[in-house]
């Protein structure tokens, strides 16, 4: 089968993980590299060993000059939607980093572009490839918990405020709520089968990011986004999702993600806590089911599977293989629009100080 000819757009921090992944995927051939900063794509190609790839500063020139099959987009959040839509309209398949976009309108625009061009749009949630995450989904979907009526998810780093493009409104668009919150939301919503979100009441703050009391990799003067958010989200089917996320706090952990059902509950702890741990962008520490066994209140531990191949590589491989075989998107943009709709609702509610309803336009 023919190799998939790919262009990488955005050759900054996370593009290093893409380079590692693509080097291990023989079905992929990196033919183009693009970064808006002059010289950055060329240097990336040299360091990462993509010496045959052509480099560009404008992705539109790359689309024009090269005969590509697909692009992977690893630009800051604000530059996901317009690039993805242009590439889909150029009849290319797209793998786009998380969070999907900055606004719900943009996410819907991306999903529509994939649909009208019949192209693959997949969003980069690599924790989906963790076998323990898959176990959580299987158990929730199996019906063993009965009717699920309440879910708590979220995460918290003790002092994990990133610097660079992540704290600039004009590049990241938003802070912790979308950056690591999108993973916690994906964990819960994917396990539930992505029910439609209906309404949300939320709060956010930026006490740590703007404070000069704490040492870190960021400059408080540059901090323009939120570092904490919490929300009460109503989902279709009478389910309530309670969410909390923090880039920094005076606590070791925000606790477990759990699903309460009429026949049992599923509780999952993150694998690590501390300065950079505690969010569901990493791995699962433990899973247990609480249930009654012949009248006895019981906790059953579900064995944790060892981590296999690098999750990032698995995510990229699944997308490359879908492109090569004409399969469907492994993590469909159309589904992740609901994740973005929740984030959009959280930010609108936090901004207005009241509950807001969520409505998602037809795709
Ligand atoms: N899946 C993961 O584990 C993971 C981890 C980190 C970051 N991310 C996501 O990846 C994205 C990028 O993060 P990063 O840490 O690499 O950021 P970064 O700032 O280090 O790199 C982004 C690069 O994109 C370039 N860029 C900006 N606008 C561009 C444009 N219009 N055309 C071409 N290049 C452009 C920048 O010059 C920069 O080199 C973000 O959306 C982030 O949320 C995902």
SS3 of 170-187: the string is HHHCCCHHHHCHHHHHHH
At residue 285 the predicted structure's pLDDT band, cuts being 50, 70 and 90, is: very high
| pLDDT over 90 (residue 218) | no
Question: Which contacts of 299-305 are long-range, i.e. CB under 8 A and separated by 24 or more positions?
Answer: 302/135, 302/139, 304/132, 305/131, 305/132, 305/135
**Count of beta carbons in the 10 Å neighbourhood of residue 262:** 10
Residues of the chain with CATH 3.30.360.10: 129-307+342-357
Position 291 scores a pLDDT of 98
Cis peptide before 111 (omega within 30 of 0): no
CATH number, span 129-307+342-357: 3.30.360.10
Q: Which helix (H) or strand (E) holds 356?
A: strand 356-357
Q: What is the pLDDT of residues 76-120, one digit of tens each?
A: 999 999 999 999 999 999 999 999 999 999 999 999 999 999 999
The arithmetic mean of pLDDT across residues 341-346, rounded, is: 98
**Mutation test of ligand 1: which of 75, 222, 310 has the most ligand atoms closer than 8 Å to its C-beta?**
75
Ligand 1: which atom is nearest the Cα of residue 34?
Answer: 33
CATH number, span 4-126+310-331: 3.40.50.720
The arithmetic mean of pLDDT across residues 174-196, rounded, is: 97
- pLDDT above 90 covers a percentage of the chain that reads 94
At residue 282 the predicted structure's pLDDT band, cuts being 50, 70 and 90, is: confident
**Mutation test of ligand 1: which of 11, 47, 99, 165 has the most ligand atoms closer than 8 Å to its C-beta?**
165
Position 296 scores a pLDDT of 98
Distance 79 CA to ligand 1 centre (A): 9
Query: DSSP of 214-271, one letter per residue?
Result: S-SSS-GGG--S-SEEEEEEEETTTEEEEEEEESB-SSS----EEEEESS-EEEEEES
127 Cβ closer than 6 Å to some ligand 1 atom: no
Collapsed DSSP state (helix, strand, coil) of residue 88: helix
Q: Average per-residue pLDDT in the chain?
A: 96
Of 98, 124, 130, the closest CA to residue 285 belongs to 130
Angle between helices 333-352 and 181-192 (to 10 degrees): 120
Question: Are the C-beta atoms of residues 181 and 343 closer than 8 Å to each other?
Answer: yes
Q: What phi-psi label fits residue 208: left (phi over 0), alpha (psi between -120 and 50 degrees) or beta? A: alpha
201 Cβ closer than 6 Å to some ligand 1 atom: no
Place of tokens 């409104």: 169
316 Cβ closer than 6 Å to some ligand 1 atom: no
Q: Which helix (H) or strand (E) holds 150?
A: strand 148-156
At residue 58 the predicted structure's pLDDT band, cuts being 50, 70 and 90, is: very high
| pLDDT over 90 (residue 175) | yes
Place of tokens 């590589």: 313
| pLDDT over 90 (residue 274) | no
| pLDDT over 90 (residue 308) | no
User: Using CA atoms, how far apart are residues 173 and 79, in angstroms rounded to an integer?
Assistant: 10
Residues of the chain with CATH 3.40.50.720: 4-126+310-331
Structure tokens at 315: 């995510």
């Amino acid at each position: 089968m023919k190799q998939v000819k790919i262009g990488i757009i955005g050759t900054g921090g996370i593009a290093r993980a893409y380079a590692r992944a693509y080097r291990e995927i023989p079905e992929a051939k990196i033919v183009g590299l693009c970064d808006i900063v002059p010289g950055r794509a060329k240097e990336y190609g040299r360091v990462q060993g993509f010496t045959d790839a052509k480099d560009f500063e404008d992705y539109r020139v790359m689309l024009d000059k090269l005969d590509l099959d697909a692009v992977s987009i690893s630009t800051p959040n604000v530059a996901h939607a317009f690039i993805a839509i242009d590439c889909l309209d150029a009849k290319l398949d797209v793998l786009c980093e998380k969070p999907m976009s900055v606004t719900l309108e943009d996410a819907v625009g991306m999903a529509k572009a994939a649909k009208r061009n019949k192209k693959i749009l997949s969003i980069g949630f690599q924790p989906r490839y963790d076998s323990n995450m898959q176990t959580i989904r299987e158990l929730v979907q199996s019906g063993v918990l009965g009717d699920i009526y309440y879910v708590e998810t979220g995460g918290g780093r003790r002092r994990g405020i990133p610097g660079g493009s992540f704290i600039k409104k004009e590049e990241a668009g938003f802070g912790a709520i979308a950056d690591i919150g999108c993973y916690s939301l994906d964990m819960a919503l994917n396990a539930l089968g992505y029910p439609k979100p209906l309404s949300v009441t939320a709060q956010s703050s930026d006490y740590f990011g703007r404070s000069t009391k704490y040492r870190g990799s960021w400059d408080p003067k540059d901090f323009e986004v939120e570092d904490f958010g919490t929300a009460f989200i109503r989902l279709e089917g009478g389910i309530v999702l309670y969410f909390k996320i923090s880039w920094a706090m005076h606590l070791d952990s925000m606790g477990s993600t759990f699903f309460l059902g009429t026949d049992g509950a599923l509780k999952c702890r993150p694998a690590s806590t501390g300065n950079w741990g505690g969010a569901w962008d990493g791995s699962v520490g433990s899973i247990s089911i609480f249930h009654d066994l012949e009248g006895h209140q019981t906790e059953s531990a579900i064995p944790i599977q060892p981590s296999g191949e690098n999750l990032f590589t698995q995510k990229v491989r699944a997308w490359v293989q879908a492109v090569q075989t004409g399969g469907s998107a492994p993590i469909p943009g159309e589904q992740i629009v609901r994740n973005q709709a929740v984030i959009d609702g959280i930010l609108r509610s936090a901004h207005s100080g009241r509950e807001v309803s969520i409505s998602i336009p037809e795709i």
